[in-house]
Amino acid sequence: MPDPASFRDQSNWGDGYELGIEVGSTRDAELQTLLSALWSAAGVRGCFGQRDGEPDEQDEVPCTVASLAEYGHVLGQILLPTGHLAVCGCTAVRGGDEGSDWLDFSVPTGALDKAGFVYSDGRPHFRSSVIDDWLAGIAMETFKEAPFSLGLVGWMVSGLADSAMLADGLPKERGMGYLLPRGGVLRYEAANT
């Protein structure tokens, strides 16, 4: 029987349904605060560096910026809105002199497929409003502990916009969800196309 929580089943991995977060900084301390808040808000079970062994077959790694650098990601398991346990992961894209760091939290579409999610909702984009709203809720909880510049929700959304691009407001037609702080409050505008 297919198991969306299996690390060893490589068909669970691949493209991700994402919560991409623009940190607003390039300092390790801010990235660590955000990673810790996100992992907690999402209720991720465990923190691992390898996909080739199940969680009970490997030692946990610290949920730290150092682990992100060493392994290229941190991995765990998350309870989906349907009650299914699924694999999940997080990577960092460091901005350096170019701009802000990004933290990309995702549930791979292979695992979502095995958990029975449908992605179209009758719209032209590869999207699930259930997953969008769930990831937006995780972002809202994360923001309470670790404010950030921008959050994007949807399939493969990291880097498709940044807070500087949105200085004049959000697009009227949105193929992804936006989480944008205004006056210290994080506002969520769902995808509408």
Section 158-180 average pLDDT? 86
The pLDDT score that the predictor gives to residue 120 is 62
Q: Which residue has the higher pLDDT, 26 or 151?
A: 151
Q: Which of 8-17, 42-51, 87-96, 158-167 has the lowest mean pLDDT?
A: 158-167
CA-to-CA distance for 1 and 71, rounded, in angstroms? 29
Average pLDDT, the chain: 90
C-alpha distances (whole Å) from 105 to each of 13, 125, 129, 154 are 13, 20, 17, 11
The pLDDT score that the predictor gives to residue 16 is 86
pLDDT at 121 over 60: no
The structure tokens listed for 34 are: 């955000």
Give strand ranges (E) for 36-183.
45-48, 74-79, 85-93, 102-108, 150-155, 177-182
Q: Torsion angle, CA of 41/45/32/177, rounded to 10 degrees?
A: -50
Please provide the size of the chain in residues: 193
The pLDDT score that the predictor gives to residue 146 is 96
Section 100-125 average pLDDT? 81
Section 101-112 average pLDDT? 93
The pLDDT score that the predictor gives to residue 123 is 54
Tens of pLDDT, residue by residue over 2-26, are 899 999 999 999 888 999 999 988 8
